[in-house]
Amino acid sequence: MKKVLYGAAVALGLVVLLSLFGERPYSRTEFMFDTVITIKAPDKGAVSACFDEIARLENLLSVYVSGSEVSKINDAPCGEEVKVSEETYNLLKKAKEYKKLTSGAFDITLKPVTDLWNIQGGGYVPTESELETALLKTGDLILSDETRTVKKPKPHMAIDLGGIAKGYAGDRVREILKEHGVKDALCDLGGNIVAVGRNGRNKWKIGLQHPQKIRGTAFGEIEAEDKSVVTSGGYERYFEKDGKTYHHITDPKTGKNPENGVFSVTVISDSCTEADALSTACFVLGKDASLEIAQNFGAEVVFFTDIGIFYTEGTEIEIY
């Protein structure tokens, strides 16, 4: 890990620097998956197919869509086997694997805890005993490869794929663009950037949102070609109470926001699914504990922390 520049602090995001393509690409923006999604590519039909796919995945994986496979799991009584599609099953398996590989930092079963904090509904600061009770409802889903079913071992267990589903959607978008013969495109799924091919003769430049400055202010940029660049940050969703800010990323050990001085984490990887899970996990684990895990994944990571900006060796980054 190399220390690079200034120390400072606060929340983050991702700004895509746009001035790009040689020819003007078609661009479309929609609010889906509870976030703003923009896809720019030279083929309008391909972009349309990508949005159809994102809509399909939202109906499959979103916790906010009643009748989605995730909602079916959440609505099922404890111990009942819920049959799911191969796609959902595989993603749940991956999520479980990421939990193991990140020492429990990435955990899709935190929903009872995040429901308590109620960020979507304006926010609530739970008591210690409320948190303790909610944490008892977290754990591991029981997955059966033979029957492709999912079972909750505890009453009131519930899952939320908010830390990984947009990443999976990013990988599917890349595949669809390739199927349509699109060589170069830039997709932003709410801070999950998929850089397909190049921007003319150059690599894509992905701006990194400064956590303490207004949206659109970058603290640096990443050069990317056929990579996913995914950021997790406390500035994305939060509420304030009694002068304190509470955001949407939860430490599974405490049920609270991690207190490790991290304001944002950006992960660069071939897989958007992996980068999504890993960025959330690294945000929880903090800079030092994340390093070995990121190396095991073969991913590059950029941390914006209260003591400076740090990144893994070999990251193609320019700090402004």
User: Which residues make up the interface to Mg ion (CB under 5 A)?
Assistant: 163, 276, 279-280
From the centroid of its chain, how far is CA 214? 21
> C-beta of 56: minimal distance to ligand AMP in Å?
20
Q: Which is nearer to ligand AMP, 177 or 265 (CB)?
A: 265
Which of ligand AMP, Mg ion, none does residue 284 bind (CB under 5 to 8 Å by kind)?
Answer: ligand AMP
- The closest residue (CB) to ligand AMP is 162
Which of ligand AMP, Mg ion, none does residue 247 bind (CB under 5 to 8 Å by kind)?
Answer: none
Which of ligand AMP, Mg ion, none does residue 107 bind (CB under 5 to 8 Å by kind)?
Answer: ligand AMP
Runs of H (alpha helix) within the chain: 44-61, 69-75, 86-101, 111-117, 128-135, 165-179, 272-285, 287-297
Q: Which residue has the tokens 């989605």?
A: 68
> C-beta of 182: minimal distance to ligand AMP in Å?
25
Residue 103: DSSP 8-state:
T
User: What backbone phi and psi angles, to 5 degrees, belong to 225?
Assistant: -135, 120
Which of ligand AMP, Mg ion, none does residue 266 bind (CB under 5 to 8 Å by kind)?
Answer: none
User: What backbone phi and psi angles, to 5 degrees, belong to 77?
Assistant: -70, 155
d(CA 12, CA 282): 14
Nearest to 250 by CA among 136, 113, 130: 113
Angle between helices 165-179 and 272-285 (to 10 degrees): 160
Q: Which is nearer to ligand AMP, 269 or 279 (CB)?
A: 279
Q: Which is nearer to Mg ion, 269 or 280 (CB)?
A: 280
Which of ligand AMP, Mg ion, none does residue 61 bind (CB under 5 to 8 Å by kind)?
Answer: none
- If you count DSSP H runs as helices and E runs as strands, how many of each does the chain have, helices first? 8, 18
Query: How would you write 187-213 as a 3-class SS string?
Result: EEECCEEEEECCECCECEEEEEECCCC
Which of ligand AMP, Mg ion, none does residue 160 bind (CB under 5 to 8 Å by kind)?
Answer: ligand AMP
> C-beta of 284: minimal distance to ligand AMP in Å?
5
Enumerate binding residues for ligand AMP (CB under 6 A).
Answer: 105-108, 110, 114, 160, 162-163, 232, 236, 248-250, 252, 276, 279-280, 284
Q: Which is nearer to ligand AMP, 58 or 107 (CB)?
A: 107
> C-beta of 116: minimal distance to ligand AMP in Å?
12
Beta bridge partners of 317: 222
d(CA 312, CA 129): 39
> C-beta of 301: minimal distance to Mg ion in Å?
13
> C-beta of 271: minimal distance to Mg ion in Å?
12
Which of ligand AMP, Mg ion, none does residue 106 bind (CB under 5 to 8 Å by kind)?
Answer: ligand AMP
